Structure 1
């Protein structure tokens, strides 16, 4: 037992030593940049002590901008020291963009992201609101004036940043205080919290600052991973849906059938684009025709009444449901049928022409 305790203590000491060296290296690199860069590196100020997800991410995002790319980080609550910093986040009791001060703890702070969002901002939300477009443009190498930047800026706030704002500000996800059936402690804010030293571990500034760097890296990598996904996968899918939606009347004069020549996630985009383009209800699509993921067969899928609904706007005909292969082809009068699901929400055919004919005939039944 004593040998095991000694091994554990040794491992903990080595781990902390590595983290301290990380913090020292970060500081020394910032100093080196000051000496070799022809100027003085800027400094980002934030509070010391226990850290949270919002300022860890805020610092990481700032270091992705042109102004603060080489900035050092000073963790303190001393107002005199904070006054020497070029930008301060999550401390200082001031929100003033002109002074580069971004705290959200002061009495009377009610800033929200806007654009329909009503969650009070944390330091992560504040920094993202003011610097997010630049980060998106730079990371994806697209013009700041490209409309896609705003699309991604709003999407990433909705899917990633807003939860961090809500958790940090103590805003319940369920306003009616519905009792949860289970607890989840795997969200990003919780994982950052676990990086703080435990109550019975050393809490000296070197150890905590090193852990803060680790937390900032964690939040930043997850943020950039999500940004890369939305920019390089989600947005191209949206473009495909927009193009197909715009020319759907070439497929069928009713406008009720959309065809994709390659598989792409379409459901979320379709509902958002219908709303943005004010597509009238009488021409909203009933069926989506697309190749399956393997490319071997084609699918015809009924559009649901909402993205999460199991109810379809117009399910495939009831007589076809639960029928397969040759029996389905004889019943429908369409060659190469594969199946229709028992609920009528999806069917299959071996060819594009067959799947498209299934959709067209279903419109009339």
Structure 2
């Protein structure tokens, strides 16, 4: 008989740590599959055999038995333990395909690539994996106690980052129906009565072929008129720019140029402008459309 498993436990290797197993543990905690106080940092086969999950150690990739190592010759795939755990969550229907893509495309692919040595090392770019590495003790001869303490500090950071990603994704999803309703009118502008994250939902709902060119919504105490990008991949461009003569103007100068009393600001890139009231933003839209 095999060793009796400790429910909700997870075994990972001791010594220095990396972003992949920290992230794997954070995902398992956030989705309520393990307890943080049951994480065992060891390479002892006897101790690992008692863990319900084993990540980044053990030499076996076998999701059916909750074993997630990628270092052995037999595994030639692109995943690290982070990607293996994320895929496990999808295959167990804990995450939908869309939810899996959200985590994978915004974080985990980069963690996998960094751990497997295939990510581009670009000067001046500090990735999530670099930040995780900076939690490790500075001295290479650090004691196991120092490594243990550092690991759990890194884990707290990873949990917070992943939880905020998850919460933001779910909030964005909750706004999708509002965006869908605005899109139904097929107008040149999407009107929102409150500030919401609209762009991802807009393109997920077929925004690439939608006729809207602008968004009007509150911006703090004011209102903004913002151009819509042609596609989700080209966020820095807009389908129609704001008037050239408004570029970079503030307050009185923008009031004079636009003839709109509630003018506040127009970005020099001509993709966004801010106005005192909703009516001012609508006037700015009318001015812009007349000049096209």
The reply to whether TM is greater than 0.5 is yes
Q: TM-score, normalised by structure 2?
A: 0.76
CA contact (8 A) 2:30 2:159 kept: no
Q: How many Å apart are 1:315 and its aligned residue?
A: 0.8
Aligned counterparts, 1:37-116, within 5 A: 43-63=9-29, 68-69=34-35, 71=38, 73=40, 75-76=42-43, 78-79=44-45, 82-111=48-77
SS in 1 for 2:71: coil
Task: Determine the structure 1 residue equivalent to 2:215.
Answer: 288
CA contact (8 A) 1:41 1:72 kept: no
The alignment yields a C-alpha RMSD, in angstroms, of 3.8
Task: Determine the structure 1 residue equivalent to 2:224.
Answer: 299
Of structures 1 and 2, the larger Rg is shown by: 1
- How many Å separate the matches in 2 of 1:196 and 1:132? 36
Task: Determine the structure 1 residue equivalent to 2:103.
Answer: 156
Q: TM-score, normalised by structure 1?
A: 0.63
When the two structures are aligned, how many residues end up with a matched partner?
285
CA contact (8 A) 1:301 1:346 kept: yes
Aligned counterparts, 1:236-315, within 5 A: 236-240=171-175, 243-248=178-183, 250=185, 254-267=186-199, 269=200, 273-274=202-203, 276-279=204-207, 281=209, 283-293=210-220, 295=221, 297-305=222-230, 310-315=236-241
SS in 2 for 1:247: helix
- Structure 1 or 2: more helix by fraction: 1
The Cα offsets for residues 137-173 of structure 1, whole Å up to 9 and x where unpaired, read as xxxxxxx78x8x6544432232233322211111123
Structure 2 CA distance for partners of 1:122 and 1:340, relative to 1, 3 Å? closer
Structure 2 CA distance for partners of 1:246 and 1:156, relative to 1, 3 Å? same
Unaligned runs of 5+ in 2: none
Q: How many Å apart are 1:355 and its aligned residue?
A: 0.6
- How many Å separate the matches in 2 of 1:313 and 1:343? 13
Identify the match of residue 127 of structure 1 among 85, 91, 103.
85
Task: Determine the structure 2 residue equivalent to 1:137.
Answer: none
CA contact (8 A) 1:56 1:216 kept: yes
CA contact (8 A) 2:26 2:162 kept: no
- How many Å separate the matches in 2 of 1:44 and 1:127? 12
Aligned counterparts, 1:340-355, within 5 A: 340-355=266-281
- How many Å separate the matches in 2 of 1:101 and 1:314? 52
SS in 2 for 1:126: helix
SS in 2 for 1:312: coil
Identify the match of residue 118 of structure 2 among 171, 179, 185.
171
